[in-house]
Amino acid sequence: MTSNQTEGTAPQQADSVALQEPTVNVRHRWTVSVVLVNIGINAAFFGPIQVLLGQQAAHFSEADKEGILALVTGAGAAVSLVANPLFGSFSDRTISRFGRRVPWVFIGALLGTIGLIGLAGAPTVAAMTLLWCLVQLGCNGALAATTAAIPDQVPVRQRGSIGGLTSMGTVVGILLGAAIAAVVAGNFSLGFIICAVGLLVGMVPYLFFSNDQVLPAQARPPFTWLNFAKGFWISPRRYPDFAWAWITRFLVNVGNHLVTLYLLFFLTDAVGYENPEFGVLILTGVYAVLTLITAVIGGRWTDKVGKRKPFVIASSAIIALAALILAFFPTWIGAVTGAAVLGIGYGVYLAVDFALLTQVLPSAVSRGKDMGVINVANSLPQVIAPLIAWPLVTLLGGYVTLYVVAAIIGLLGAVFVVKIKGVQ
């Protein structure tokens, strides 16, 4: 039995179209709709995170803006850790005539939109915090449903290509969020509204082209609160490939966040770049463009050769190399080179590792919940990376130590990929 077959399912579950392993290639319009919803979700995430929430924090108190921003983003990150697997599990059990995933994409996008519009007029820091948590709840719910739709509908032979394209949607969403923040020029209220519109617009095509399969009521497993709660623990002993894949993604994301977290301060203090804010924009642009290109190329390449692990190992090593370039060549040329190398490695990693992950899911019945658990490996590093980075920079050797540690953590991710046995 392969890792993505359902173990112990009833005959009616195995016969359900919604739970079968997909064999027919998805159409271009389906792919476009998934990319667009990813762009909308990520613009709604990163427009506020990169600039708008900071501007709003300063609006409430210039003296306490750092603390306000930490409070708001920390609360939102905590919500995201719970929302992804929770909404994924809800979507697994949904028997709507619209399918399992579509209702939660709609509900999540609607909640995110309400939160963003509310942020535009938030009267207090408390309201700002609650509304950003609502945005995180809704957008992570929509993200969990769309992520689960890929193993639902995309055959294994096509998952690298689709993973590359959805990763492209993520990077475009990040850039779009930054562009929105730049265009509104300090008017954060208008920025929140534009992000809300972008989220809704990105969602609409998916509602029409999702091809979401209906789960028959008799195919839904019996529900008990105890089993529901226990389902979020996926035994490493029973599903070792899933556990190693989760650890790998977690480590590589920790390393990546360590590289990017203090980039502004690195340019200021280590490189001595005259205009560090503009420097960050240039480095982000170099990184993003190469991530876009290599995500698409890497995804198609891995599908063509039918292998995942060599690409994940190589891309993890390239990400580690980028960190070492920044550690030992703290110059502007070194920073640009490091950003380029990081983009090359991370683009391939995003596409191919996603495809690998979809091939180690424990059960077709719980794809949404399982992908939500995987997405925790994306969110948790955002919380952990600052806790690691601060003492390394301030107490244990500065940026050389920070980037060497980032490289080591990334390389550990590459090493652990070898432990996965069910995927080549």
DSSP string computed for 192-231? HHHHHHHHHHHHHHHHHH--PPPPPGGGSPP--HHHHHHT
Residue 250's pLDDT is what? 92
Say if residue 118's pLDDT is above 90.
yes
Higher pLDDT, 216 or 196: 196
Distance linking the first and last C-alpha atoms of the chain? 16
Higher pLDDT, 323 or 363: 323
Top mean-pLDDT range of 149-163, 215-229, 375-389: 149-163
Which is nearest to 331 in space by CA: 283, 278, 273? 273
The residue type found at 144 is: A
Band (192; pLDDT cuts 50, 70, 90): very high
Rounded to an integer, the average pLDDT of 93-102 is 88
User: 9: helix, coil or strand?
Assistant: coil
Rounded to an integer, the average pLDDT of 204-229 is 82
C-alpha distances in angstroms, 225 versus 8, 149, 221, 230? 20, 25, 12, 9
C-alpha distances in angstroms, 330 versus 43, 132, 217, 338, 342? 31, 36, 60, 10, 15
Residue 12's pLDDT is what? 45
How many CB atoms sit inside 10 A of residue 280's CB? 19
Q: Which domains does the chain have, with CATH numbers?
A: 21-211 (1.20.1250.20), 234-424 (1.20.1250.20)
